[in-house]
Amino acid sequence: MADESNNPLFFRRILITIDEDDRPSTSRAFRFAMTMARDYQAHLGIASVLESNDISIYESLMPDKLNEKRDELKAIVKEYADKATAFGVNDVRSIVAEGGDVDDVVLQKVIPEFKPDLVVCGADVDFASHGHPGAIGLRLAKKSDVSVIVIR
């Protein structure tokens, strides 16, 4: 094997997880992800998760309510995607996932499907209804098998 220890290292598939609420660290994390994706011609995946906890049992019996929440989240992710495209990122994919716990959905559905080599997350991104205390980025940093950056 050639000695690669002096080669540049950057990322080719960058996944950013977006909070529904617009927290300051989400904005900074998104700016970093856009900058990397533009400057290194990386693929950018913008993901958000519709949590089960966001949906009450009452609402889950009403498909219209659920569709409405899903559409809201899709619109938020699309807004970020449009921003990234305008910023100069060539390859942007919007991802809205659902079903269960945010950590689990990102680790078990979003990451295996998008196959990022870097996950970008704001330090204070913690979905409101989330069961575990502490920020999602830190848990992804611990559990994921790809590189993770926690932006503050």
Q: Which residues bind a second copy (CB under 8 A)?
A: 4-10, 27-28, 30-32, 34-35, 38-39, 83, 86-87, 123, 137-138, 141-142, 144-152
By beta-carbon proximity to a second copy, the closer residue of 10 and 60 is 10
Give the nearest distance from C-beta 97 to a second copy in angstroms. Answer: 22
Give the nearest distance from C-beta 117 to a second copy in angstroms. Answer: 9
By beta-carbon proximity to a second copy, the closer residue of 27 and 60 is 27
CA dist 148 → 37, 69, 101, 140, 151 (Å): 15, 28, 19, 7, 10
Q: Going by C-beta distance under 8 Å and a sequence separation of 6 or more, which residues neighbour residue 80?
A: 16, 18, 30, 46, 94
By beta-carbon proximity to a second copy, the closer residue of 23 and 69 is 23
By beta-carbon proximity to a second copy, the closer residue of 27 and 67 is 27
CA dist 50 → 9, 69, 117, 128, 138 (Å): 33, 8, 23, 12, 20
Give the nearest distance from C-beta 109 to a second copy in angstroms. Answer: 20
Continuous segment of H or E residues that includes residue 94:
strand 91-98
